[in-house]
Amino acid sequence: MQQFHCPFCGPREQSEFTYLREVARFPALDADASAWHRYVYDRANPCGAHAEWWQHQHGCRQILSIVRDTFSHEVLDIRLARASQATA
Ligand SMILES: [Zn+2]
């Protein structure tokens, strides 16, 4: 089974984590319906590196930003989502 290295808890089985969604910015609050439709329903589905939000549901419950290769399942980067938001 794949492991994720939580910044707080260390290496843990993927089953402890819950996938939330791909990393994306919220549309402006006054954005039109098509912008919100794209945010809610459209997914990139790349073959390669993909930035995703996961929650360590059965651990520290932190939301993590994980860059994962969707072809090889290699984890390329893990950091706190709130830390990655500061640099996005
Ligand atoms: Zn954790």
Map out the domains of the chain with their CATH numbers. Answer: 3-87 (3.30.2270.10)
Which residue has better confidence, 11 or 84?
11
**Side-chain half-sphere of 34: how many Cα atoms within 13 Å?**
0
Which residues are placed with Cβ below 5 angstroms of ligand 1, an ion? 6, 8-9, 56, 59-60
pTM of the model: 0.84
Contacts of 70 (CB under 8 A, 6+ apart): 45, 46, 47, 48, 49, 50
pLDDT digits (tens, 9 = 90+) for 5-21: 999 999 999 999 999 99
Residue 26 CA to ligand 1 centre (angstroms): 25
Residue 80 CA to ligand 1 centre (angstroms): 10
